[in-house]
Structure 1
Amino acid sequence: MHQDQDAHRGRLIASVAATVISLACGTNYVYSAWAPQFAEKLRLSTTESNLIGLFGNLGMYTMGVPIGMFVDDRGSRPAVLAGAFLLAIGYVPLCISFEKAAGSVPVLCFFSYLTGLGGCMAFAGAVKTSALNWPSHRGTATAFPLAGFGLSAFFFSFVGAILFPGSTSSFLLLLAWGTFGLTSIGYFFLKVYPQVSYQEVPTQSSEPSSSGRARSRSVTEPDVRGVKLLFCLDFWQLFSIMAILAGTGLMTINNIGNDANALWKHYDPSVDETFLVSHQQIHVSILSVFNFVGRLLSGIGSDYLVKTLRASRIWCLAVACLIFLLAQICALQIEMPHKLVFVSGLSGLAYGFLFGVFPSIVAETFGIGGLSQNWGFMTLAPVASGNVFNLLYGRIYDHHSVVEPDGTRSCDDGIACYRSAYAVTSTACALGLFITIYIIHYQRTQYLKAKDKLDEED
Structure 2
Amino acid sequence: MASEKSLTRARVVSSIAATAISIACGTNYAYSAWGPQFAEKLKLSSTESNMIGTSANMGMYAMGIPVGICVDNKGPRLAVLAGALLLGVGYFPLRQAYVSGEGSLAALCFYAVCTGFGSCSAFAAAVKVSALNWPHHRGTATAFPLAAFGLSAFFFSAFAQLAFEGNTGNFLLLLAAGTSGIIFVSFFFMHIYPHSAYSSIPTSDTPSSTDSNPLIPTRSQETKHANRGASMEPESGAAAPVTVPIKISETSSLLSSNASIRDDLEGDIRGLRLFMNTKFWFLFALMGLLSGIGLMTINNIGNDATALWRHYDPDTDPTYITKRRAMHVSILSICSFFGRLLSGVGSDVLVRRLQASRTWCLTIASAIFTIAQLLAITIRDPHYIFLVSSLCGLAYGFLFGVFPSIVAEVFGIHGLSTNWGFMTLAPVLSGNIFNLFYGVIFDAHSVIGKDGDRVCDLGLECYRNAYVVTLFSGLAALVVSLVSIQYDHACQRAAAKANDLNRVA
Aligned to 1:17: 17
CA distance in 1, matches of 2:319, 2:291: 31
- What secondary structure sits across from 2:344 in the alignment? helix
Q: Distance in 2 between matches of 1:383 and 1:18?
A: 25
1:206 aligns with 2:204: yes
Structure 1 equivalent of residue 337 of structure 2: 292
Q: Which amino acid aligns with 1:189?
A: F
**What's the CA shift string for 1:368-425, capped at 9, x where partnerless?**
0100000010011000100000000000000000101221111110000000000000
Aligned pair partner of 1:392 in 429, 433, 437: 437
Partner letter of residue 146 of structure 1? Answer: L
Aligned pair partner of 1:401 in 428, 437, 446: 446
Matched residues, number: 451
Q: What is residue 193 of structure 2 aligned with on the other side?
A: 193
Kindly state the Cα deviation for residue 453 of structure 1 after the two structures are TM-superposed: 1.7
CA shift, 1:207, in A, is 3.9
SS, match of residue 158 in structure 2:
helix
Q: Does 1:442 align with 2:442?
A: no
> Could you say which residue in structure 1 is the equivalent of 2:136?
136
Alignment of 1:366 with 2:411, yes or no, is: yes
Determine if contact 1:135/1:198 at 8 Å carries over to the other structure: no
Aligned to 1:235: 280
2:377 match: secondary structure? helix
State the distance in 1 between where 2:197 and 2:474 align.
42
Cα distance per residue 1:85-119 (max 9 Å; x no partner): 10011000000000000001000000000000000
1:230 Cα offset (Å): 1.3
| Corresponding position of 1:425 | 470
Query: Is the aligned partner of 1:87 residue 2:84?
Result: no
Amino acid at match of 2:280: F
Task: Write the mapping of 1:101-250 to structure 2, written as runs, cut at 5 A.
Answer: 101-198=101-198, 205-207=203-205, 217=226, 218-219=247-248, 222-250=267-295
Q: What is the aligned partner in structure 2 of residue 452 from structure 1? A: 497
Question: Which ranges of structure 2 fall in alignment gaps of 5 or more residues?
Answer: 208-221, 227-246, 250-259, 261-266
> Where does structure 1 lack aligned partners over 5 or more consecutive residues?
none
Alignment of 1:299-314 (within 5 A): 299-314=344-359
CA distance in 1, matches of 2:479, 2:203: 37
- Distance in 2 between residues matched to 1:50 and 1:157, nearest whole Å: 19
For residues 318-339 of structure 1, the C-alpha deviation after alignment (integer angstroms, 9 at most, x for no partner) is 0000000000001011000000
In 2, distance between residues paired with 1:194 and 1:246? 34
- Separation (CA, whole Å) in 2 of partners of 1:68 and 1:319: 28
Code of the residue aligned with 1:296 in structure 2: it is: L
Contact kept? 2:205, 2:248, Cα under 8 Å: no
Contact between 1:292 and 1:352, CA under 8 Å: does it hold in 2? yes
Q: Does 1:37 align with 2:82?
A: no
The reply to whether residue 383 of structure 1 matches residue 458 of structure 2 is no
Answer yes or no: is the 8 Å Cα contact 2:289–2:477 preserved in 1. Answer: yes
Cα gap change, 1:372 to 1:208, in 2 (>3 Å): closer
Q: Higher helix share goes to which structure?
A: 1
Cα offset, 1:2, TM superposition: 1.3
Q: Distance in 2 between matches of 1:65 and 1:168?
A: 33
CA 239–414 in structure 1, closer or farther in 2 if over 3 Å, else same:
same
**CA distances 1:26-83 after superposition (whole Å, capped 9, x unpaired):** 0000000011110011000000000000000000011101110100111111100110
Say whether residues 1:343 and 2:388 are aligned partners: yes
Q: How far did 1:208 drift?
A: 6.3
1:262 maps to which residue?
A: 307
Distance 2:76 2:419 in 1: 15
Deviations 1:152-198 (A, max 9, x none): 00000110001001200000000000101111111011001111223
Give the aligned residue type for 2:204.
S
Matched, 1:323 2:368: yes
Q: Percent identity?
A: 55
Q: CA deviation at 1:219?
A: 4.1
Q: Is the 2:311–2:459 contact (alpha carbons within 8 Å) kept by the matching residues of 1?
A: yes
| Partners of 2:447 and 2:202 in 1: CA distance | 69
Partner of 2:214: none
SS at match of 2:192: coil
Contact 1:230–1:236, Cα closer than 8 Å, also in 2: yes
Contact 2:166 2:322 in 1 (8 A): yes
Give the Cα separation in 1 of the matches to 2:402 and 2:355.
16
- Paired residue secondary structure (1:333): coil
The 3-state SS of whatever aligns with 2:321 is: helix
1:138, CA displacement in angstroms? 0.6
Following superposition, the deviation at residue 205 of structure 1 comes to 4.6
Distance in 2 (CA, whole Å) between partners of 1:83 and 1:166 is 27
What's the TM-score once normalised by structure 2's chain length? 0.88
Supply the RMSD in Å over aligned alpha carbons: 1.4
The verdict on how the C-alpha distance between 1:298 and 1:101 changes in structure 2, with shifts beyond 3 A counting, is same
Residues 121-140 of structure 1: CA deviation (Å, up to 9, x unaligned): 00000000000000011100
2:11 & 2:198 partners in 1: Cα distance? 15
Amino acid at match of 1:183: I
Per the TM alignment, residue 457 of structure 1 is displaced from its structure 2 partner at its CA by 2.4
**TM-score normalised by structure 1 residue count:** 0.97
CA separation of 1:71 and 1:267: change in aligned 2, threshold 3 A: same
Q: Deviations over 1:188-216 (max 9, x none)?
A: 110011112239xxx6652469xxxx987
Instruction: Letter of the 2:16 partner, please give it.
Output: V
For the 8 Å contact 1:51–1:109, the answer to whether it is kept is: yes
CA pair 205-238 structure 1, distance change in 2 beyond 3 A: farther
**1:48 corresponding residue in structure 2:** 48
Distance change in 2, residues 1:77/1:40 (3 Å): same
Q: Report the Cα distance in structure 1 between the residues aligned to 2:318 and 2:160, rounded to whole angstroms.
A: 17
1:285-342 residue CA offsets vs partner (Å, 9 max, x unmatched):
0000000000000000000000110000000000000000000001011000000000
User: Contact 1:147–1:291 at 8 Å: present in 2 too?
Assistant: yes
- 1:271 Cα deviation after fit: 1.0
